[in-house]
Amino acid sequence: MNNDDVLDVAMAAYWQGDPADVSVNAITQMAGISKPSLYREFGSEDGLKLAVVDRYAEQVLSDMFVILHAGMGLRETLDALIDFACDDPRMETGCLFNKMRAGKHRLGPLTRARVDEIDAAGQAAYAAFLQSCRDLGDWPGTLPVTVGAKYLGEQIGLAITQRASGEDPARIREMLTLALTVLARHDAYHTAS
């Protein structure tokens, strides 16, 4: 049971439930290691969560950055984001990063700072994508890029949160599609089959 295995166990536990509801005792038990071992490796609960959120960012959130930097057009990119939010099986229990951000006040200082960093990076990635769309004439209108970026991020986060609460996936897709219609008007409203 090496270090990364422990991180995988912790990440899965935090991800499935709520990061604030999983104790270090529970994690040591699930990972089959002793509490002092965990504290020697990660220093504190805060250190463990920091390592977990970093791992999550590089393993999961990176996929979203890939979509945003793939150089696709606005519509294609939005569709890819919709697919990710609505269909990726990893998001069935919600997004760990969103959960952490939603319960930010319960995090230690290290993890909270990192969450803010990642949040800013995500915001910047959305904004850069929209800016490039506008530059290429692919995104008409006068909506400020920063507002569009925030809106996009919030809508995707909302959809993933709804998946975690057991909402009907077809309806989630309808609502997210509807919300993003305002960024790139689709031909017609069509229900997901």
Partner DNA sequence: AGAATAAAATACCATTAGGTATAAAAATGT
Partner DNA sequence: ACATTTTTATACCTAATGGTATTTTATTCT
Among DNA, a second copy, none, the one that 35 touches (CB under a kind-dependent 5 to 8 A) is DNA
**Token couple for 139:** 């995104």
Q: Are 28 and 38 in contact (CB under 8 A)?
A: yes
What is the rounded CA–CA span in Å between residue 31 and residue 56?
18
How much helix, strand and coil, in percent to the nearest 5, is found in the chain? 75, 0, 25
Give the nearest distance from C-beta 100 to DNA in angstroms.
14
Closest distance between a second copy and the C-beta of residue 25, in Å? 18
Helix (H) or strand (E) holding 119: helix 109-135
Cα–Cα distance for residue pair 19/71, rounded to 1 Å: 34
46 binds, among DNA, a second copy, none (CB under 5 to 8 A by kind): DNA
Residues 143-162 that bind a second copy (CB under 8 A): 143, 147, 150-151, 154-155, 158, 162
Which residues in the 9-38 window bind DNA by CB under 7 A? 23-26, 33-37
- Interface contacts to a second copy, rule CB under 8 A: 18, 21, 102, 105-106, 141-143, 147, 150-151, 154-155, 158, 162, 171, 174-175, 178-179, 181-182, 189
